[in-house]
Amino acid sequence: MLTNRPRFNQLKAKRQVKDISQSIFRRPGRDIPAGIVVFLVALPLCLGIALASGAPLISGLIAGMVGGLVTGIASKSHTSVSGPAASLSAVVLTALEVLETFDVFLLALFIGGLIQVILGFLKSGMIADYMPTSIIKGLLAAIGLILIISQLPYALGVELDKSRLLDYSQSFFSGVIETGALVLSLFAPGALILAVSSLLLMIFWEKTALKNVKWLPPSLFVVLFGVLLNQTFKFLLPALYLDGIHLVHIPEINDPTALFTFPDFSAIDNFQVWTYAFTIAIIGSIATLLNLEATDNLDPHKRRSPPNQELVAQGIGNSIVGLIGGIPITSVIVRSSVNIEAGAETKLSTIIHGFLLTVSVLFLSTIINLIPLASLAAILLLVGYKLTSYSIITQMYRKGWSQFIPFAVTVTAILLTDVLIGVLIGSASSVFFLLRGNYYNPFYMEETNPGSKRKTIRLELSNEVSFLNKPAIKRILWNLPKGTRITIDASFSSYIEPDVLEILNDYQTTFARENAIDFTIVGLKDSYAPSNEVVIGKPAVINRADLKKPANVLQYLKEGNKRYADGNLVSRRFQNKKLKDFIKDVPLAVVVNCIDMREPLNMLLNTGIGDLIPLKAAGTLLDNHLVHTLEIACREQGAVLIVVLANSDNHLLKNALKRVLAEPTAPFSPLLVPAIEAGYFSPERFRSEDLSHWSDRLARWNAAPAQTKIVHTNAYLRTHINQGKVGLCMAFFHRKDGTIDFFPLYQPTN
């Protein structure tokens, strides 16, 4: 039963994720309110982006309807919401000027959608996997700032031209002084009161019992509150009442056929049509992939959306929009972040938002037009703050300049230009740090015999050596003094670029000989070829701030052992003076294993120096002194995880079992006594052919009493394990392949 429990828990967890992924009706209590909130937020954005694009206002609503109903159904993303794209508004504006008529533009949009479908089938969505996290977080932060500044006029009730507020494709700072002056002189007190009270309601919502009412998200309540408060102003305080431009405005549709405009297929041979078709397809696809990646990062379940399927879904949506008179759609981070914040679990919320847009356009324009824009602005202000909060900025800063500078450059570039150009500029800065890192980190070099008259150097190549490393290798080798003895160790290299091999060969056959340099290469393979089956790369830099919880540390150890078993371990060689810097860090875990196991834990788990505290016990059976030592490791040194690690092919247990066969009347080894007393092992039935089988079973079984003893004999550990501050789990090391099976964290029974 003990060995089957982790497998059962894993299957149970997978089933839960599968259920969320497959059924869009699993969480209607969360998805329906979220869909309503997204609809309320998307409504003014659809109108505003259409206005900023120079297109008919109704085209923005059509794009929102198709984005929700068609793309929402075709997409396999759980939380992404599609609609008219602010990042494409400049393209649409220019295209309408060049193509002159809206129906000719619709033809370009229709063709662009078909191109997107083709890109999806060609699996072009892989580009999203290469986008650095710093760029994605920079995109989110920039969108957050744009949301905050662009929604402030609505929160203040300033009557400004909407195109100046919603045109995100233009420079963010253009006309900012003039806009600021108008905001200060023209604000409406009623809008300010409504916006501030709405913000306070949402901020303090989680601190009241109302947070347990999942079917009524605070953002939806704020919209209802805004309508009621504004109607109260109308009868009791007319000076504060908001009407006209301060309210949502949907054009009335008396004839449903008047909704649609059809493309002019007679312009199919127009070169400019095809130019803008490809432009819309490429920019729309990149924007979609970036927003999709950013949305997945915000998803609390951290589910991954298939990018190629998303391109197909967006292409289908854009083709239909082009046929009936809309503007381009993409996955939109503003709507998506609002969707996640409102508690959406599946794409049902996206479909509901599209359905409500359709119903509102056809039947509910009078009711929807009662909603103050200040209420919607308050929702977006809070969303914007969460996307660009101080904690996110400090988190990126703590990751180092190589992460923070691309993040800051992306934010600044998006604000100064537009979303696409800003992301490209940020990506260029990220590539700079990538090239810089490859230049300085292709190898580890040490002087192995510093006391000798002849300089002796050992140079260990990295896991992967590419053409980007050529300058650094050449700089080191060609600057060595005459008479140097150098050894290059390629044992840990899974791949070496042919250009680098050629450099090493030239150096050995010419420069080294001519300058009396003793040059040796060890560990070089006969051939190197990139493999799709083996992941070649350096382990990601771990932010130790993320390793404060036992579950996170356990996952870190699992991933480390997988890298070791897959052959992706990178050798760590440090000088003595550098060891102190690592040992200063708080340890992550304390590992109890048998004295029979002498394999280095840091290598098996691919952890840093000082991350683990190893304790040895014969057969992993603990006494009171070792349990107290575990307490000190957690209480005094800060370890948050205890791992009881058994191992296969345990020679101590094998010898104890051999003694059972050789001396049946002799006292049993203390390593076997717990299993015998529990009835798990019967010496009378034991046979020599079962030696290896039973030694592994007993090694695994002995970990259970050790775990029980830790919990039941030490009050400090029991309390902290029950509170989740310290984790406890068992594990089993397979000597044959180097893998470690980790059991789930110990769960206290009430």
CA pair distance 304, 307, nearest whole angstrom: 9
User: Does the structure show a pLDDT above 60 at 105?
Assistant: yes
Half-sphere exposure of 533 (CA within 13 A, CB side): 0
Q: Which residue has the higher pLDDT, 575 or 378?
A: 378
Please report, rounded to a whole number, the percentage of residues in the chain having pLDDT higher than 90: 19
| 3-class secondary structure, 742 | strand
Closest CA to 179 of 162, 194, 199, 196: 162
Confidence of residue 532 (pLDDT cuts 50, 70, 90): very low
> Per residue in 364-400, pLDDT tens?
777 777 888 888 778 778 877 877 888 888 888 888 8
Instruction: Provide the residue count of the chain.
Output: 750
Mean pLDDT to the nearest integer, 470-499: 81
Please report, rounded to a whole number, the percentage of residues in the chain having pLDDT higher than 70: 80
CA pair distance 56, 659, nearest whole angstrom: 90
On whether the CB atoms of residues 70 and 320 are closer than 8 A, the answer is yes
> Per residue in 416-454, pLDDT tens?
876 667 778 888 887 777 666 655 555 667 776 555 666
Residue 159: per-residue pLDDT: 63
Residue 167: per-residue pLDDT: 44
> Per residue in 302-338, pLDDT tens?
787 888 889 999 999 999 999 999 999 998 877 888 8
Confidence of residue 114 (pLDDT cuts 50, 70, 90): very high
> Per residue in 46-78, pLDDT tens?
876 776 677 887 888 899 999 999 998 998 888
CA pair distance 494, 517, nearest whole angstrom: 27
Mean pLDDT to the nearest integer, 91-112: 88
| 3-class secondary structure, 238 | helix
Token couple for 680: 């798990």
Token couple for 647: 């191992």
Closest CA to 291 of 437, 87, 105, 486: 87
Residue 647: per-residue pLDDT: 92
CA pair distance 98, 272, nearest whole angstrom: 8
Residue 726: per-residue pLDDT: 93
* Beta bridge pairs of residue 616: 593
Closest CA to 591 of 642, 647, 650: 642
CA pair distance 589, 70, nearest whole angstrom: 50
On whether the CB atoms of residues 554 and 742 are closer than 8 A, the answer is yes
* Beta bridge pairs of residue 84: 329
Is 623 annotated among the ligand-binding residues? no
Token couple for 307: 């990018």
Is 546 annotated among the ligand-binding residues? no
- Lowest mean pLDDT of 405-409, 568-572, 614-618, name the range: 568-572
The contacts of residue 685 (CB under 8 Å, 6+ apart) are none
On whether the CB atoms of residues 521 and 527 are closer than 8 A, the answer is no
On whether the CB atoms of residues 378 and 202 are closer than 8 A, the answer is yes
Q: Is 310 buried (19+), middle (13-18) or exposed (0-12) by CB count in 10 A?
A: buried
Domain chopping of the chain, boundaries = 23-390, 443-522, 544-742
CA pair distance 187, 194, nearest whole angstrom: 13
On whether the CB atoms of residues 701 and 707 are closer than 8 A, the answer is no
In whole angstroms, how far apart are CA 443 and each of 360, 464, 490, 502, 542?
63, 10, 10, 17, 20
Helix (H) or strand (E) holding 82: strand 82-84
CA pair distance 739, 733, nearest whole angstrom: 6
On whether the CB atoms of residues 641 and 604 are closer than 8 A, the answer is no
Confidence of residue 615 (pLDDT cuts 50, 70, 90): very high
CATH class, domain 544-742, is alpha beta
* Beta bridge pairs of residue 459: 445, 488
CA pair distance 332, 338, nearest whole angstrom: 10
> Per residue in 209-248, pLDDT tens?
776 665 566 766 788 888 899 889 988 988 888 888 888 7
| 3-class secondary structure, 668 | coil
Neighbours of 152 (CB within 10 A): 19
Closest CA to 142 of 345, 337, 343: 337
Helix extents (H) in 187-306: 189-205, 218-236, 271-298
Mean pLDDT to the nearest integer, 349-371: 84
Percent helix, strand and coil across the chain, each to the nearest 5: 60, 10, 30
The contacts of residue 327 (CB under 8 Å, 6+ apart) are 49, 50, 53, 55, 59, 60, 62, 63, 84, 88, 92, 109, 321
Crossing angle for the helix pair 333-341 and 373-387, to the nearest 10 degrees: 90
Closest CA to 620 of 503, 548, 702: 702
**CATH architecture designation of domain 443-522:** 2-Layer Sandwich (3.30)
| 3-class secondary structure, 263 | coil
CA pair distance 250, 149, nearest whole angstrom: 24
The contacts of residue 352 (CB under 8 Å, 6+ apart) are 31, 32, 35, 36, 39, 68
Mean pLDDT to the nearest integer, 692-699: 90
Closest CA to 205 of 216, 189, 194, 193: 216
CA pair distance 50, 323, nearest whole angstrom: 17
On whether the CB atoms of residues 122 and 311 are closer than 8 A, the answer is no
- Lowest mean pLDDT of 24-33, 170-179, 656-665, name the range: 170-179
Residue 19: per-residue pLDDT: 40
Q: Which residue has the higher pLDDT, 136 or 229?
A: 229
> Per residue in 162-176, pLDDT tens?
444 444 444 445 555
Token couple for 424: 């490209």
Token couple for 391: 């904690």
User: Does the structure show a pLDDT above 50 at 531?
Assistant: no
Same fold, 443-522 and 544-742: no
Q: Which residue has the higher pLDDT, 190 or 3?
A: 190
Looking at every residue in the chain, the average pLDDT score rounds to 80
Residue 435: per-residue pLDDT: 67
Radius of gyration (Cα) for the chain, nearest Å? 32
b/e 352-377 (16+ beta carbons within 10 angstroms → b): bbbbbbbebbeeeeeebeebbbbbbb
Q: How far is CA 506 from the centre of its chain?
A: 44
Closest CA to 678 of 708, 647, 650: 708
* Three-point CA angle 453, 457, 459, nearest 5°: 180
- List the strands of the sheet with 641-647, edge to edge: 612-616, 589-593, 641-647, 727-733, 740-742
Mean pLDDT to the nearest integer, 401-407: 86
